[in-house]
A = this chain, B = another copy of it.
Amino acid sequence: MLRKNAIVGQSGGPTSVINASLAGVINGCIKAEEIDRVYGAVYGIEGVLNENIIDLTDKFSNEEELKLLKVTPASYLGSCRRKLKDEFKEIFDVFEKYDIGYFFYIGGNDSMDTVMKLSHYAKDNNIPVKIVGVPKTIDNDLEITDHTPGFGSAAKFVATTIKEIAHDADVYDKTLVTIIETMGRNAGWLTAASALARDGIIDAPHLIYLPEIDFDVEKFIDDIVALSKTRKNIVVVVSEGISDKNGEYILNLYKDTGKDAFGHTMLSGVCGILADIVKKRTGFKVKNVEFNILQRCCSHISSKTDCDEAFEIGTKGVEAALKGETGCMVYFHRTSNSPYACEVKSISIDKTANAVKLVPKEWITKEQNDVTKEFIEYALPLIQGETEITYENGVPKYTVR
Contacts and interface: CB of A to CB of B under 8 A. Distances in A.
Interface of A: 10, 14, 43, 46, 72-75, 78-81, 156, 159-161, 163-165, 167-173, 196-197, 199, 201-202, 269, 272, 287, 289-290, 292-294, 296-301, 303, 380, 383-386, 391-398, 400
B199 A393 contact: yes
Given A171-B14, A196-B395, A297 B380 contact: no
A43 B173 contact: yes
Contact of A168 (B168, B199, B293): B293
A199 B373 CA distance: 43
A112 to B, nearest CB: 18
Contact of A398 (B74, B167, B380): B167
A78 B294 CA distance: 28
A380 B400 contact: no
B199 A395 contact: yes
A236 B290 CA distance: 18
A161 B298 contact: yes
Given A160-B300, A292-B289, A294-B161, A80 B172 contact: yes
Given A74-B170, A79-B172, A396 B293 contact: no
**Chain A interface, >50% SS class:** mixed
Contacts of A300: 160, 164, 301
Contacts of A165: 293-294, 297
Contacts of A43: 172-173
A163 to B, nearest CB: 5
Nearest to A19: B167
Given A80-B172, A199-B392, A201-B400, 19 more contacts: A10-B171, A14-B167, A14-B168, A74-B167, A78-B171, A78-B172, A160-B395, A161-B298, A163-B396, A164-B294, A164-B398, A168-B293, A168-B296, A168-B297, A170-B400, A196-B393, A290-B290, A290-B292, A294-B294
Contacts of A294: 161, 164-165, 289, 294
Q: Which among A74, A75, A167 has the greatest number of chain B C-beta atoms within 10 A?
A: A167
A300 B299 CA distance: 12
Q: Which of A46, A168, A294, A384 has the most CB of B within 10 A?
A: A168
A296 to B, nearest CB: 7
A393 B385 CA distance: 9
A202 B168 contact: no
A167 B73 contact: yes
B170 A78 contact: yes
Contact of A79 (B171, B292, B299, B301): B171
